[in-house]
Amino acid sequence: MRAPKNHTWHPRVNAHPVEVWGSAPQQQRWVDSVFRSMTREQKIGQFFMVATFSNRDESHYQYIETLVRHYNIGGLIFFQGGPYRQAVLTNRYQAAANVPLLIGIDGEWGLGMRLDSTMDFPKQMTLGAIQDTAVIYRMGAEIGRQCQRLGIHINFAPVSDINSNPSNPVIGNRSFGESRENVALKASAYMKGLQHTRVIATAKHFPGHGDASSDSHITLPTISRSYTQLHDMELYPFRKLIADSLMGVVTGHLHVPNVDNTPRLAATLSEKIVTDLLKKELGFRGLVFTDALNMGGIGKLPAEEINLRALMAGNDVLLYPENVPDAVHKIAKAIDEGKISQELIDEKVKKILRAKYWTGLNKYKPVSLENLSRDLNSSEAQLLKQELCEQAVTLVKNTNNLLPITTLDTVRLASVSIGTDYGNTFQKMLGRYAPFKQLTYAEKPAGEHSVDEILTQIGDANLVVIGFHRMSPSARWNYGVTNASLSLVNRLKQKGVRVVVCAFGSAYALRPFVGTPADAVLCAYEDGEDMQRVVPQVLFGAVPAKGVMPVTIGDWKIGNGLLTAPSQRLAYSLPESVGMRSGQLRHIETVVQKAIRDKAFPGCQVLVARKGKVVFDKSFGTLAYNNFERVTDETLYDLASLTKVLATLQAVMILNERGAIDLNQKVATYLPEFQNNSKRNMTVSDVLLHQTGLPAGLSRAIERSKAPAINAFTTVRDSLHSLQVGPNLYAVPALRDSIWNWIVRTPLTGRMDEDGRYNYVYSDLSFVILQKLVERVAQQPMDAFLTENLYKPLGISTLCFNPLQCHPGCRIAPTEQDTYFRNSLLQGTVHDQLAALQGGLSGHAGLFGDANDIAKILQMNLQRGNYGGRRFLMPGTVPLFVRTQSDRSHRVLGWDKPEVDGNSVYHAAQVSPRSFGHTGFTGNVIWVDPDYDLVFIFLSNRVHPSAGNTLINTQKIRRQIHEIIYQSM
């Protein structure tokens, strides 16, 4: 090829000091043996890689098999279908082949690009935002592993085009971006990952499709770059990949007049581009594939003529050819006529055979069908996909460091999701972090009347997160962002509301938000569930923002991205992210389902968090045996005695470190009514340790309340009976005072050890007293104190007393069919009778909630008082309360500790001595293990319909589950 005038030739770049495919003697012997066994027509057949599908009928499969048997085609490229069907067909076609077939797939973002029931990874522009190239290498290796598992030897990836034209109709998100260095770096990492697993990578579309303004599937785009521009830009990634031992290149259906000015000639058919530029100048020694020869960009020549001309131009493999029989005849005739030499044919065939040897086809084995779906959708691969999403999310605007959101007690949150459906993953995940007013609009707002309606629904929220979904890739449609949607942002800002914009579309889809008054703008690049799970975690600091712009959009320049720091808030991930095994944790489901069948409980929630990540969070069963409504992550359970540590103890710890409560001080100091009776000398610490001589409960209160003479109850709420103690049972508020007076006067047990100290007796009354102490010191009801100082700042929305006042009854799991006291099914009114007599608010029972909110409290305790960028307790407070203080029991200050005999029915034998937790009578257990950085939560309603059901203990169900968790590490 002659260089244009004033053009300086670039030096030839060798791909590798030896052949790309290696040169081992055993390889050469295999290649020579196979080569000598073929006729001329069979050799020609090796050039064809025919398109096939696994979702067609038998006639298609027989047609492909005919091409394999009678024309010795070299390979197949699979398109639509499913993995199992494709594996069956691959085995069938390979069995029919005289020479093993190269199997290819066009899986730029993984098998899921073409096949159902398989994974798709983020598209390349999303990857272009990632700064850690190593994770892209790992993605390439994982896609390669999946290809190998499915019998695929070639992946037509990575796209190595520099998308320098934002209006490019066909490349766009398929490119790593507009920077030649970024494209080369990321494409090389992807390529190396694939080839590390013995899958041939192909860089496409040579000599560069990024500056095209039309779609080569339909017509022939023209690339008008000068020769120098091509070398400096378009060819840069290809040069780098070739130097890194790239094994495949796909030529593009592009007209490049400054390299070959033959009118309307596609690069695929140009000898100047394929042979002179790619092979001679750039030194490429691998396989050269055409782009699909059925595309409109190749021209309108007869199929057999296109195949011959592509081969003559320098291509080695003809991709998606049409009319193979006539093409074989055409090529054979061209050899006879001297248009193409037999030597060149032989050279290409041997190169293809060397590639087949490199991929392992010299020792071909059929694809195993066993566990195929599991192997193609491994937990490790799912985790890698999540990591890619986490690293890609790009924060381009963050006024006054609004993100991550850390202060939750001064914000009123609302989320508006535009262009998606109710119950979307994005809003569900937002709700895990804080209570949101959730508004969802499948139809995008079309006028100011729509905006007015949304503003009315938002109400008094002062921080609004707006998610833009189902965005368009087209600038013509303003990327799917309506003028009314932009008006919503403007009008919210006019009201003084802080606004966060989350764009679930390409980097180009940020353009409508350039100059927006929004306080924060975040690009998610894609709208899949994985990204919708990740973005809320970035907003709340569970995951840091790390991504940078792969293209320039207005003032948001390429390479720019605002980084944030993690805030020690719970993240949500897969077990493998914290050194646990998903396969082992799946045994939890086996244990739970058996327990449900045995009627140990109708349903439950199980949550496991390790190293600050929730890695298992599942709900099982139904709310009741005669109720088919499933338990969900929104189901609330009666937490029973978990109230002691999740409510009362937390309040005591807060007040203790403020100096308002002294653990060594006598309770009578704070509650003078104890000064003149037998309880006058008990200390706060003794109460927490259950070693005060107090009886276990106050059964007398229950008996007295049943006495009709008291006339304290009625079945209808009225002005006198306003204290609800059951679904249809109300009491006079003075009953609470009566309960307290009974507790003050109740005699101590008198059971002491030989040293004159009271024995350990687990007592509900201890925590009723602590509740009263908290309220006296704080000068407000305990639930109000907790909401203000703990629950609201933590983003907790479900933990509460008397849940029917703030949650629908249908969300609450029923407990016992009470035939002793309230004579009704309890659903939303506390199961514990003593707590019920106090109106549902007590220090020992009465709290309701779900596993997700409990996890926040436990994680804060595990992190020694720090959570979400805020300190709730001083670092020494939790260690003080979980330290062994007494030799009279295994309990510490409020918490339970491991049972020394190892016979616990609710915690694993493997727990560390530093672990702590608690149980609840209704069927609950929580356990924290600092040595393993582990949180375990199990919630159930085992008392439904009768508290006499003890199967949860006799079968040691909770212990079994806890042991599975330890075994998974």
CA dist., res. 787 & res. 805, Å (int): 15
CA dist., res. 934 & res. 941, Å (int): 24
pLDDT of residue 816: 96
Is residue 681 packed enough to be buried (19+ CB in 10 Å), middle (13-18) or exposed (0-12)? Answer: exposed
Is residue 947 packed enough to be buried (19+ CB in 10 Å), middle (13-18) or exposed (0-12)? Answer: middle
Residue range 380-567, CATH number: 3.40.50.1700
Q: No. of H helices and E strands in the chain?
A: 35, 31
**Strand 75-78 vs strand 48-52: parallel, antiparallel, or unpaired?**
parallel
Three-state SS at 268: helix
In single-letter form, the type of residue at position 65 comes to E
pLDDT of residue 908: 96
Three-state SS at 587: helix
Across-strand partners of 154?
104, 200
Task: Give me the phi and psi of 915, to 5 degrees please.
Answer: -70, 160
CA dist., res. 427 & res. 910, Å (int): 37
DSSP labels, 46-98: TTEEEEE-SSS-HHHHHHHHHHHHHH---EEEE-SB-HHHHHHHHHHHHHH-S
CA dist., res. 331 & res. 45, Å (int): 10
Domain map (residue ranges) of the chain: 25-375, 380-567, 637-847
CA dist., res. 503 & res. 497, Å (int): 19
**Strand 729-731 vs strand 847-849: parallel, antiparallel, or unpaired?**
unpaired
Other Cβ atoms within 10 Å of 117 Cβ, number: 15
Is residue 854 packed enough to be buried (19+ CB in 10 Å), middle (13-18) or exposed (0-12)? Answer: buried
Contact call for residues 376 and 110 (beta carbons, < 8 A): no
**Dihedral, CA of residue 419, residue 424, residue 428 and residue 431, to nearest 10:** 20
CA dist., res. 526 & res. 173, Å (int): 10
CA dist., res. 726 & res. 621, Å (int): 26
Which residues in the chain land under pLDDT 70? 1-19, 699-711
DSSP state of 619: E
Radius of gyration of the CA atoms of the chain, in A: 35
Helices (H), 598-709: 642-643, 649-657, 667-670, 684-689, 699-706
CA dist., res. 751 & res. 459, Å (int): 59
Is domain 637-847 in CATH 3.40.710.10, yes or no? yes
Q: Token pair for residue 968?
A: 């998974």
CA dist., res. 526 & res. 389, Å (int): 9
Q: At the fourth CATH level, which superfamily is domain 25-375?
A: Glycoside hydrolase, family 3, N-terminal domain (3.20.20.300)
Contact call for residues 847 and 800 (beta carbons, < 8 A): yes
pTM exceeds cut of 0.85: yes
Strands (DSSP E) along 779-862, which ranges?
800-801, 817-818, 824-825, 847-849
pLDDT of residue 4: 39
CA dist., res. 533 & res. 543, Å (int): 11
pLDDT of residue 886: 79
Task: Verify cis geometry, omega within 30 degrees of 0, for the bond prior to 404.
Answer: yes
pLDDT of residue 19: 64
CA dist., res. 631 & res. 954, Å (int): 24
**Strand 603-610 vs strand 613-624: parallel, antiparallel, or unpaired?**
antiparallel
Task: Give me the phi and psi of 145, to 5 degrees please.
Answer: -60, -45
- How distant, in Å, are the alpha carbons of 162, 584, 902 from that of 959? 56, 15, 11
Other Cβ atoms within 10 Å of 925 Cβ, number: 25
Tell me how far apart the terminal alpha carbons of the chain are, to the nearest angstrom: 62
DSSP state of 814: P
